């Protein structure tokens, strides 16, 4: 409790770099990271903040807690790697900007691979004219993918497909039409339903949809390692100094051109928004695990 109070007292007095070099903070980092790798960890946090100026406006403890969670999962905070993101949002509950932990698709893939259960795992957007048939009973799909990469990128999306195969041969697949995905987004993201242009659903629908499909597939049918469970539960949360998670209401999008996305198989948060003011914490948690 004393350490938590000391950390809280530092958050308004110091910039991020100065905050991270304070003895009480260095001690906390050392307990999680170890003294040998502590400096590299601090450097990576500062680098992530420099890549997104809005992150520097967030409370220092929320940045550190998100980064420490990532470190405990052996995921780098570097936005270039895309394993997870510390995304700044404004919390109307306390009037501050805080960093949320957002699991990236590369981090999701990393954790699945490390579990040792998965032989193959993939997800993709299906473009107009590519889908020949999908049999939901046998979970078999037949597609004719557009060969020209530029042409395929420009083609409208009609659905999304994801699958995994265990080392023992068990296989599971799922396909959602874009119409079904849009209904899901409207149900679980009031920001998207309002169509005001500030949600990641509106900025990069395909990327958000693919992460949603992967969450559905792995969360409902996949074997979840302890690290995968931890990461999924923390996804979209502000991590408090005591380790608790707060699924806060969001009122503005990150002030940065850099999106927490990857390439075609990009996945971001399932209920990313600025959500409406009356969205409760329970609503956020419901959306998270839906």
Q: How far apart are CA 7 and CA 24, in angstroms?
A: 7
Q: What is the pTM of this model?
A: 0.72
Nearest alpha-carbon partner for 86 in 65, 105, 111, 72 = 65
Average confidence (pLDDT) per 10 residues, the chain, 290 residues: 47 73 86 78 86 87 92 86 84 84 84 92 95 95 95 96 94 96 89 79 86 90 92 88 72 40 30 32 35
- Where do we find the tokens 């601090």? 42
- Where do we find the tokens 């903040």? 49
51 Cβ contact list (under 8 Å, min separation 6):
79, 80, 256, 258
Q: Give the CA distances from residue 121 to residues 165, 166, 217, in Å, rounded to whole numbers and listed in that order.
A: 6, 9, 10
State the pLDDT at residue 259.
Answer: 43
Burial 27-50 (b: 16+ CB within 10 A, else e): ebbeeebeeeebeebbebbbebbe
114 Cβ contact list (under 8 Å, min separation 6):
74, 225, 227
Please report, for the chain, the start and end positions of each structural domain, with discontinuous segments joined by +: 2-103+238-254
State the pLDDT at residue 67.
Answer: 92
Nearest alpha-carbon partner for 78 in 109, 111, 55 = 55
State the pLDDT at residue 248.
Answer: 57
State the pLDDT at residue 254.
Answer: 38
State the pLDDT at residue 35.
Answer: 66
Cβ–Cβ < 8 Å for 87, 133: no
């Amino acid at each position: 409790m004393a350490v938590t109070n000391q950390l809280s007292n530092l958050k308004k007095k110091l910039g991020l770099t100065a905050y991270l070099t304070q003895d009480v903070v260095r001690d906390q980092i050392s307990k999680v990271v170890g003294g040998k790798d502590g400096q590299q960890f601090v450097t990576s946090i500062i680098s992530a903040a420099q890549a997104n100026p809005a992150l520097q406006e967030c409370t220092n403890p929320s940045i550190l807690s998100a980064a420490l969670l990532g470190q405990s999962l052996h995921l780098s905070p570097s936005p270039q790697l895309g394993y997870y993101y510390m995304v700044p949002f404004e919390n109307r509950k306390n009037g501050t900007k805080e960093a949320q932990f957002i699991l990236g698709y590369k981090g999701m893939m990393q954790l699945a691979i490390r579990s040792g259960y998965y032989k193959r795992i993939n997800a993709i957007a299906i473009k107009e004219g590519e889908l020949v048939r999908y049999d939901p009973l046998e979970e078999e799909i037949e597609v004719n993918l557009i060969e020209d990469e530029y042409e395929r990128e420009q083609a409208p999306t009609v659905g999304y497909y994801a699958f995994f195969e265990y080392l023992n041969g068990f296989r599971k697949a799922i396909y959602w039409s874009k119409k079904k995905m849009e209904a899901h987004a409207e149900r679980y993201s009031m920001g998207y339903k309002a169509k005001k242009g500030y949600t990641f659903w509106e900025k990069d629908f395909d990327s958000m949809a693919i992460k949603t499909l992967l969450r559905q597939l792995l969360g409902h049918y996949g074997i979840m390692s302890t690290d995968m469970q931890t990461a999924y539960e923390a996804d979209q949360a502000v991590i408090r100094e005591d380790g608790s998670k707060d699924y806060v209401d969001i009122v503005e999008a990150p002030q940065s051109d850099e999106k927490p996305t990857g390439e075609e198989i990009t996945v971001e948060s399932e209920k990313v928004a600025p959500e409406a003011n009356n969205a409760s914490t329970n609503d956020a948690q419901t959306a998270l695990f839906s």
